[in-house]
Each structure stands twice: as C-alpha cells, then as structure tokens.
Amino acid sequence: ATEAQMKEVLQLLRQSQWRWDYAVASHGGSFHSPIEFQRILSLSLDRAHKARFAISKVLAQLGHIGDVPMPDISTKEKAQAYIGLDIPKEREAKKQFMETVVPKWLETAKANNRLVSRR
C-alpha cells in the first residue's frame, strides 16, 4: 500500500490511540468519572473499527481478499525478533551508558552539591 492509500487508516489509528492513552492514563478516571471514561474509550473503539473498515478497502483495492498473514508474536522474544530488536546489542549499549554517562552525571551532581548519599 502507498502512503496515500494508508493516510486515512493511519489517521484513524492515531486518533484511536490518542483517546485510549488519554483515558487509560487518567488512572482514576474509571472510578471518578466512569461515564466520561467510557465515552472516551468508546470513541477510541469507534476510530479503531473505522480503521479496520478503511484498511479492508485498501486491501481490496490491492486485490487481497483473504486473511492477512500475521507474524508469530506469541512470545516477547518472537515479537522482539520480528521488529528487529537486537537485545544483546541493546544490553551492551546500556552497559556502556551506565559505565560512561552515569558516572559523569554523578560527578556533576556531587560537584553541584545535588547528590544525596545513601547509607
């Protein structure tokens, strides 16, 4: 699919995600304002459903009418592999960060009398 074909789909997905995030991030929203919480979530679901219909149109335009093949992301490791996340590389980058950047931050904090030491 081209970017132009996906424009509506992506916009609807973004709108759905924004509403979902907004409602869920309010933590106590479902308790303190359950009607508003449900209203926002229903708008999120509405946008998600519209996105599903829009993507089905794109798929039909491209001649695809069967099930869309989906990757196996049944485990964390499989999902990471599918998106190309190199865990050993990420761990090494974190190790380097912890060994080079964090000590400099601590030195700066100590020099500025901003570090609280724990006993």
**Which of 49, 44, 52 shows the shortest CA–CA distance to 20?**
44
- pLDDT, tens only, 17-71: 999 999 988 878 888 889 999 999 999 999 999 999 999 999 999 999 889 889 9
Residue 74 phi, psi dihedral angles, 5° rounding: -70, -15
pLDDT of residue 76: 95
Residue 75 phi, psi dihedral angles, 5° rounding: -130, 160
**Which of 26, 53, 54, 57 shows the shortest CA–CA distance to 39?**
26
Residue 102: pLDDT over 80 = yes
Regarding pTM above 0.85, the answer is no
Tell me how far CA of residue 31 lies from CA of 27, 37, 44, 56, 84, in angstroms: 9, 9, 19, 36, 39
